[in-house]
Amino acid sequence: MHEQTNWAGNHHYRATRFAEPQSVDELAALITDSPAVRVIGSRHSFNDIADSDDLLISTTGLPTSVEIDAEARTVTVGGGVRYGDLALALQQAGWALHNLASLPHISVAGAVATATHGSGDRNGNLATAVRGIHFLSGTGEAVELRRGDPGFEGAVVAIGALGVVVALTLDIVPTFAVRQRLFSGLGWDAATARFDEIFASAYSVSLFTLWDEPTVSLAWIKERVDEPSRVGEDFFGAIAEAEVRHMIAGMDVRNVTEQVGVAGPWSERLAHFRYEFTPSTGAEIQSEYLVPRARAVEAIEAVRALGPRLRGLLQISEIRSVAADRLWLSTAYETEMIGLHFTWVRDSEGVAAVLPAIEEVLYPLGARPHWGKVFAGLDAPAMYPRLGDFRALADRHDPESRFRNAFVRRVLA
């Protein structure tokens, strides 16, 4: 049995064999020669989504091309490209993506496949930027789908069930500048009573908390410089921070992107963490649940009631907003969502013990777990109305079920 470890060290990907193909042709041969295949990118998943009954493939050796089409306002990137490298190339050419996740260290293909997201009322998750997808199917066939094609909306967020993504074409926009400001001491009464105002106040808003504290630890505000600011020195009663802060007490502030209102390019501000630094020791576990916007306050109050149970396990939690989309397996499918993200200490047994309690209060509100994080269970047919259509799409592109590991079989029920 061959084992590869994820970034955080909490999960060992199971596989009999491991390969790192250097070309698409080599990749196609590996797929057709194996009865069971899964793929890892930057290893930022926290569960068994990439476990394989036979072959585990890394995309790091695949072409890392970045091709900008200024006329079409698109960029086409290889399957192994990371957001940090893509952001640098786009910024140098005067272009931008609409958003970034907290970590620029993650691969584009992996983030898209799991509906990973940034933050902002007007911002869809990273997968919503996809205009075209090129993958090798379970038969080794090259498949290309573009926005508007039948099956495209099912193929973008595909949790690795259709094949191996070798290239993605993304929408781009002209570059823009962003400033970040932090505020401390936001009262919970204000956070819940004025929830919509708070999250509409800037391009991206994140609230950081340990849940059982008297106020929100930090409100992290990202504003586009070319848009009028709606945030003064008093953020709904919270006080502006004059020095750089890390969201986790005691962590090195060199890891976070520049704050205190200093404007800079989107590529150096939209992510929470700098690409050139390791964002943490990696000794953590992550969970996240996306809750319908209309039930957000109920969800926050329910998790706050669990606060004392979470305190010893929790490093920090983040609350952020995501716009609705039409991607079948997206956690924001047809619903504006609020993400409740949990960064745990690396205590697998302790985390496993509290997740059922969290899901017991969030799932009845319509929550969906992040595909790449740790969760206790899910009822995918109830959560995803297009699951049957996705199952048919997987049957079409992977007729021999090469990409259906235990994780995918649980999802497809």
Contact in structure between 116 and 125 (CB atoms under 8 Å)? yes
Q: What residues does CATH 3.30.43.10 cover in the chain?
A: 2-58
Q: Which residues contact 261 (CB under 8 A, 6 or more apart)?
A: 179, 180, 181
DSSP state of 379: -
pLDDT at 212: 93
pLDDT at 281: 57
Report which secondary-structure segment, H or E, holds 218.
strand 215-224
Strand, coil or helix: what is 70?
Answer: coil
Q: Write out pLDDT tens, residues 140-172.
A: 999 999 999 999 999 999 999 999 999 999 999
Q: Is 363 left (phi over 0), alpha (psi -120 to 50) or beta?
A: alpha
Furthest CA-CA distance within the chain: 62
pLDDT at 329: 98
Q: In CATH, what number does 2-58 get?
A: 3.30.43.10
Contact in structure between 241 and 182 (CB atoms under 8 Å)? yes
Contact in structure between 7 and 47 (CB atoms under 8 Å)? no
pLDDT at 278: 67
pLDDT at 228: 87
pLDDT at 229: 87
Q: Which CATH architecture has domain 66-175+386-412?
A: 2-Layer Sandwich (3.30)
What is the distance between the alpha carbons of residues 65 and 77, in angstroms, rounded to a whole number?
6
List, for the chain, all residue ranges whose pLDDT scores fall below the cut of 50: none
Q: Where are the alpha helices (DSSP H) in 63-175?
A: 83-92, 108-113, 152-155
Q: Where are the alpha helices (DSSP H) in 180-235?
A: 188-193, 195-199
pLDDT at 1: 54
Q: 95-96 and 37-40: which strand pairing?
A: unpaired
Would you call 382 exposed, middle or buried from its count of C-beta atoms within 10 A (0-12, 13-18, 19+)?
A: exposed
Q: What residues does CATH 3.30.465.10 cover in the chain?
A: 66-175+386-412
- Cα dihedral sign, 237-241-246-250: negative
